[in-house]
Amino acid sequence: MKKALLVVGVALFVMILGYRHALSSIGSAQDRTVIAIESGMSVSGIADLLAEKGLIRSPFIFRLYVRLHGAQSNLQAGRFVLSGDMSVPQIVDVLRSGKSQEVSVTIPEGWTVTDIDAALARMGLAESGSIIDCAQRCDFSSFDFLPKVSNLAERGGTLEGYLYPDTYFADTANFVPKFFLERMLGAFRKNVVAGQAEAIKASGHSLHEIVTMASLVEEETKTDEERPVVAGILWKRYDGNIGLGVDATVRYILDKPTSAITVSDLETVSPYNTRKFRGLPPGPIANPGLKSILATLEPQESPYWYYLHDSKGVIHYATTNEEHNENRRKYLR
């Protein structure tokens, strides 16, 4: 009898240890995963999703824990940011509350500092204008790749163009604009300054010229196939001391991202007006993605000097101004 009780006791002890181990976390705080819990998803479905994402060890133990704590009907639908150091009890608490401490923030290619400011304000992470203010006033001198120029547009200061588009995770309770911008600058340093160091050196252009040109390519193209061709055209015009004629630069300085550009707009006296002044604008007009940067570093040679997009977004190239005017007549009516 004593032997049997001992065996049972050992078995229970092992089971308890196994249960506790199955409830423990798997990864580290740096490992973050966004999961989407659909409305009406079963506990089994949630358990399988968490296991698939590598957030729990055992779907069975997750289901058992939920049942033992009466949480079957309390798990909420929504998008949650879960970190690898979260245990099953912590994950269940997040799913029961319907909110996580962190949120995912996706910064698309082509956004400006103003766009980033507006998005973070909509999400309730930062006060409206705080990102713009920090971009203009905060000390980012530790990022020595930032331009040392004084005539950049006030909208984005020296940070415009150098904020790497990506998905970031932000703490809703402890959001600091400067820290968030530093993370974006750090990603730029890793992926562009360091990641493309040899290509930048071989290009014969400064980093600021490359990023500025890449921002034009970002704003002037609609497909990945267009990027290197348009980059080749713009570099060819730049090297030939021919006006770039990029309307997006006028839109940027006038803060008119979508509305029609007027004749008077095109007469705006600003170094950002590439319709009126030759060469690159003083700085980037958007934060370009890596594909536009790579296209700028590796432009495609072509016989073309002009391009335009029709009302359906299809690009049309031309080798002469006469052909370009004909394309304007045919496709921009």
- Per residue in 186-231, pLDDT (tens digit) is 999 999 999 999 999 999 999 999 999 999 999 999 999 999 999 9
Chain mean position to CA 128:
19
Nearest 10 degrees: Cα torsion 250, 247, 312, 166: -60
- Per residue in 282-321, pLDDT (tens digit) is 999 999 999 999 999 999 999 999 999 998 999 999 999 9
Distances (CA, A) of 170 to 128, 183, 245, 289: 17, 10, 39, 21
Mean pLDDT of 177-183: 96
Tell me the angle at which helices 226-239 and 290-297 cross, rounded to the nearest 10 degrees.
50
Q: Which CATH number fits domain 19-100: 1.20.1250.20, 3.40.50.300, 3.30.1490.480, 3.30.200.20?
A: 3.30.1490.480
Mean pLDDT of 80-88: 89
- Prediction pTM value: 0.80
First-to-last C-alpha distance (Å) of the chain = 96
- Per residue in 242-267, pLDDT (tens digit) is 999 999 999 999 988 888 888 898 89
Domain boundaries along the sequence of the chain: 19-100, 108-194, 204-331
